[in-house]
Amino acid sequence: MTFILIRIVKLYKLVKLLKHLGILSKIVFMLITPFFGEVLILTMMAVCCLRTYFIKKTRLDAITTFAPLAFVISILQIISWGFNFCEILLFLVSLIVFIVNYRSFIRFCNHLYVDTYSTPFIVFSSISLALIIFATVICIIYMPQPLSPKKYQVTVTSTYLSKQKDGSYKESDDLFADKSLKLTVYSPSSENTNKTKNSVVLFVPDKRAAALAYEPYLVLLAKSGYKVYCGNFNFSTVEGNLKFLPTSVSRRNLIHNVRKEASDKKYFDANPQFSDAYAKEFEILIKIADAIEPKSKYFAVVCDGASDCFYKIKNPARPISATFDLARVSEYKTSGYGFIQQTDPLYAAIKYGLRKDKTYFIPSYLVTKTKDAIEAAK
């Protein structure tokens, strides 16, 4: 018992030190983004392949369990964060490592000892290690550029809400309830709030992008003084088969379908269920914000494409004072996918030929354009 208490005290002191050095916020960011899972997968695979060089004695080959574990975690990464090139790359490499170590894993499960590793196994492990090094280099070069809300005096709170029988959304304590809405609120400091002249921004992300892809813009918008409500409904409001699939699969299917058309506009014009869904989501988000915000607040709604949804919003709980579509800014090249130059640089490089942007120029520029649109509407 004493030993455990000593360990807890040491851990507490370490956390305080990391917080004092400003490192804790970066670690927390890594834990709530795909980065932590990617590091874990790469580390487990590297240890698994390197064992052939360092372990020579007869033993149970327990380290081989890292191969299936890394493979399973890579699948969970895709389920949690959706498809992107880094996750797909790690999935393929982990699959290869698992196949190479499959017989070793079976031997371990049967409690069979290993005397030596065969030459073919060492060769394939070396090839796997080379692939792991390649994947590591790619993940480091194209590592997302984090933006710490704390640095900009922005408070971020997230709540999961479930749809009720009467159509309303409420926070649910039931662990197994269908949490179809993730509501994230970005709140500026009291000092910056005075700059906004009582305006609140309501934002719904594009269905092709995870809400995390818009965080640089949303944090900077809150920094400029606007309280921002971001409603991530995934595909729960979309009519059709997509709503019954996992979010990552639905998003991938949508991206694939859009690519088959000559333009994004052509696809969405032929599939009005998406703009109908956005309109419905804005109605829900306005109703939620209306119950929270004082009546003196004005509501501005922002979307990324599909701006025709603004005309489909019926009977909002509070009048909309301004509308703004990010996609109408020509400098914003990644419309529909969020600010992937910061959040998914590899995808931005492959799809658009864009480099990772550490200056946050485009998110900052769009914040300025958003402010101009809100002020012009008053």
Helix axes 34-54, 119-141, angle to 10 degrees: 150
Question: Which residues in the chain land under pLDDT 50?
Answer: 1, 3-4, 7, 11, 14-15, 17-31
- Cβ atoms of 234 and 250 within 8 Å: the answer is yes
Q: What pLDDT does 23 receive?
A: 44
- Cβ atoms of 42 and 94 within 8 Å: the answer is no
Q: What pLDDT does 25 receive?
A: 42
Q: What pLDDT does 361 receive?
A: 94
- Cβ atoms of 293 and 200 within 8 Å: the answer is yes
Enclosing H/E stretch for 348: helix 345-352
- Cβ atoms of 190 and 174 within 8 Å: the answer is no
Q: What pLDDT does 19 receive?
A: 43
- Cβ atoms of 305 and 333 within 8 Å: the answer is no
Cα gap 149→366, rounded to integer Å: 18
**Dihedrals φ, ψ of 181, to 5°?**
-135, 125
Per-residue tokens: 221 = 């918008």
Per-residue tokens: 233 = 């409904």
How far, in Å, are 174, 280, 288, 366 from residue 124 at the CA level? 48, 53, 56, 49
* Residue among 216, 95, 73 nearest 147 (CA): 216
Q: Which amino acid is at 229?
A: Y
Q: Which residues make Cβ contacts (< 8 Å) with residue 276, sequence separation at least 6? A: 239, 309, 312
Give 159's strand partners: 183
CA-derived radius of gyration, the chain: 24
What are the start-end ranges of the H helices in the chain? 2-21, 24-31, 34-54, 66-81, 85-100, 102-109, 119-141, 190-193, 215-223, 247-259, 264-270, 273-292, 340-343, 345-352, 361-376
pTM: 0.79
Q: Cα torsion at 275, 281, 283, 286 (round to 10°)?
A: -130
**Dihedrals φ, ψ of 320, to 5°?**
-90, 125
